[in-house]
A and B are shown apart, each in its own frame.
Chain A
């Protein structure tokens, strides 16, 4: 190789050669300003909502009927509701519950979606056809129907189970648990489709064939060689499922199918705020704070998810 050739070659080498793909992705993510703003917004929300838990757990249902429907003051940062409860306590606890529901149902949907997607994609043939038709049917069914059915089926039993375990507030806990199972078990469909496609593309790659030829069991091939390679899309879709689940909770609460008051969530606070709107008294704080919480939370999570997608999947970005 001549000297000039060498010079051209070194010039063309990008600065981050020799850096692991993961680190390169992390660098891309950090450079994404929207994603970093999202991370900051989420950190603030999580800090407020979970940091104040010790206080809000005691005060979220405390009524003061002499001080109802008060606009925000220094004593009540977000005002009070129609029963004189401090809206900040309810908002903060509600945020903690909403984000918790989002995270937990996203976790459920990741487990089911990845499971179904990997099995369908790897097995192929009949198994694939049956699983994907099931996904099609669930896509066709009205989403609300499934959630209501799950509620009807599970709430009673769950309450009994929690009661027998001696946990506090069994009915409220059962309501929340069933809600997140409901949301989680209907939001895995897209994930399953995406993962299936990725796995099908990986299945015939030489390194997977080599693993099979070495006599590894299918489970081990899947766990060691397939799943790590679809980790990118899994992370991205998991991040995007959290805001979708929070939004689903707010819709269901709006329809009266979500978490039941007095336990607050951003969703049922917002729907209570919508119900309190009338042309005579505009009590903006009742709807503004929960919806602002929802918007900031969703925006942050969507920015983070979007940033992750750009970072982990450069082909798309």
Chain B
């Protein structure tokens, strides 16, 4: 098993290099981004022309656009320099905020991760049993109703749901149950730890609802399909014919096989955990990863864009590995060799 994982990790290296190359190409060949440094410095600065020029050169050097003497560096060299500093762990400083990129991400990540993890948990807790029951009661009332409702929820635009949630549940006119924006109350200083945590979850309840409601349809549809497919297999009939208890057939034979579908789907959802929804974060005024990537792109904040995208790519690769490992554990037919 260990050697299998090591081999897989080694295989990931060329893929990762290819990914960084593509990432670099996408980011650097877009107009406006290459001149990002200059534009950012030039904005709203009351400086002599010479000082401004100095500042521009500094930013350009930080982005590996020019060398020490101010001569432009060729693109392939830029790529190698970026790769080198990234490997050394220097992900750069944001052009927009006076902070290292990693610090910015460390500030934004916890919120996004909390919201996404809770939303994912709720989605799985509803959609997996829902899909299972829908398959068992195929074409009956539950199947029809559940499919209809989950698909209807999936079709509601998040803009509407988000602003309605705000308008009805965070509004003195109707139900002033939840706060309208932000992550903390103003009096956090006077709270003990549990009150603080409670306050935090109280603030992210509506965003969680808004990231949850649309997620049921696709997952339960897949679970239902996979269970129906397995229910029709010969080995299920054999197990039943042998007199195995109905619940045992379901758990050991049907669900265990459907687990493979579930693993694949979960693996594909993992990189999205860090992404964060720009829409939800924008509506509820939360400073999470989605908003970070969005504002960084608008501001042409090169180091932030590159880092966020790089983390996304690495995470995609790691989740493939995780899927393969889980496959090997869940399915004895898969060998490590």
Contacts and interface: CB of A to CB of B under 8 A. Distances in A.
Contact of A277 (B33, B167, B172): B167
A277 B163 contact: yes
Contact of B293 (A142, A254, A277): A142
A254 B159 contact: yes
Nearest to B156: A295
A302 B159 CA distance: 18
Interface string A267-285: 1001100100101001000
A133 B155 contact: no
A145 B157 contact: no
Contact of B159 (A134, A271, A306): A271
Interface residues of A, number: 42
Interface stretch (A60-68, A203-211, A243-251): A243-251
Contacts, number: 128
B272 to A, nearest CB: 9
B160 A295 contact: yes
A302 B218 CA distance: 11
A316 B163 contact: no
Interface-central residue, B23, B151, B317, by most chain A CB under 10 Å:
B151
A291 interface: yes
Interface residues of B, number: 53
B297 A298 contact: no
Contacts of B31: 152-153
B165 to A, nearest CB: 12
B160 A291 contact: yes
Interface stretch (B69-77, B182-190, B275-283, B328-336): B275-283
A141 interface: yes
A286 to B, nearest CB: 11
Binding site secondary structure of chain B:
helix
Interface-central residue, A34, A130, A134, A144, by most chain B CB under 10 Å:
A144
A136 B19 contact: yes
A146 B27 CA distance: 9
A251 B172 CA distance: 28
Interface stretch (B86-94, B108-116, B304-312): B304-312
Interface of A: 34, 130, 133-134, 136-137, 139-142, 144-146, 148-149, 152-153, 243, 247, 250-251, 254-255, 267, 270-271, 274, 277, 279, 282, 287, 291, 294-295, 298-299, 302-303, 306, 315-317
Given A291-B157, A306-B221, A315-B225, 11 more contacts: A136-B19, A136-B320, A140-B271, A144-B293, A144-B297, A282-B167, A287-B163, A298-B157, A302-B154, A302-B217, A303-B151
15 contacts: A34-B148, A130-B18, A139-B312, A140-B271, A140-B315, A140-B316, A142-B275, A142-B312, A149-B297, A250-B157, A254-B159, A279-B173, A287-B160, A306-B147, A306-B151
